[in-house]
Amino acid sequence: MTLRRDDRGSVAAEFAVVVPAAMLLVLLAVAALAAAGTQIRLEHAAAQAARLVARGEDLGRAGEAVQAAAGGAALEVRSDADLTCAIVTAHHGIPLPLPALRAEACALSGGR
C-alpha cells in the first residue's frame, strides 16, 4: 500500500504568503530611498539657510529657501558667537515610528 500526498493548492498557498511579504519589502525599500533623497535635500537647505542668515538676510528669506528645497520642512536658527547654525527637520514619510529627519549646517557670521 502506497501513501499519496495531495499537493494541490500548496503553490497557491505559498504564493499568497510570499507575494504580500515581497511587496512590503519593496515598498519599504522605496520609502527608504525617498527618505534618503529628503535627507540630502535637507542638508542642502540647511547649508543655504545658514549662509543666508550669516550674511545678514532675514529669516523669512532663509525660510523660503528651505521650503523651496524641501517643502514642509521646519527651520530653526541659532547663533553662537561667530557661527550661525540652521537646523532643518522634516518627516521621512516612512509609515514606521521613526524619528524625523534632521540636518544642521553652520556658517561664519558677518561674511558678505
Residue-range domains of the chain with CATH: 10-108 (3.30.1300)
- Output the pLDDT for position 15: 84
- Output the pLDDT for position 90: 93
Question: Residue 107's pLDDT band (boundaries 50, 70, 90)?
Answer: very high
- Output the pLDDT for position 98: 83
pLDDT at 83 over 60: yes
Distances (CA, A) of 80 to 48, 91, 109: 18, 27, 9
Calpha distance 112→110 (Å, rounded): 7
Beta-carbon contacts of residue 26 (< 8 Å; ≥ 6 apart):
none
Q: CB of 90 within 8 A of CB of 42?
A: yes
Task: Name, of 3-7, 62-66, 68-72, 92-96, the range with top average pLDDT.
Answer: 62-66
- Output the pLDDT for position 10: 78
- Output the pLDDT for position 103: 96
Give the pLDDT mean for 59-75.
91
- Output the pLDDT for position 5: 65
| Listed range (1-5, 33-37, 40-44, 104-108) with the worst mean pLDDT | 1-5
Report the half-sphere exposure of 54 (CA within 13 A, side-chain side).
20
